[in-house]
Amino acid sequence: MSADKERAPKRAMDKTILLNQLQSLRLKLHEIAEARGSLTDPDVIAISEEADELIVALQQLQRARLIEPPLRTYPDNFQSK
């Protein structure tokens, strides 16, 4: 199996994991901000910063996907002429 074929599922899995983590943080952020009554509470800010880091990681994955050459999907028994 080529390295490109191995990277594609890993990128998709990484993206799914990051999106799930971001969704979880978003819900936690909303819950804590509402409970504390302030968007400037230190705990709210800490969660917001953690979410920012996940957003940057997702953007980097997206950028890498746009820069990398497209994956070739040939059958395993494909032989070039």
Helix axes 42-67, 3-36, angle to 10 degrees: 160
Q: Which residue has tokens 């983590």?
A: 21
Reported as a pLDDT band with limits 50, 70 and 90, residue 78 is low
Between residues 68 and 15, the one the model is more confident about? 15
- pLDDT digits 0-9 by tens, 61-72: 888 877 766 666
pTM summary value:
0.67
What is the pLDDT at residue 33? 96
Side chain identity at residue 14, one-letter code:
D
73-77 long-range contacts, Cβ below 8 Å, gap at least 24? 73/5
Residue 21 in this model has a pLDDT that exceeds 80: yes
d(CA 4, CA 7) in angstroms, rounded, equals 5
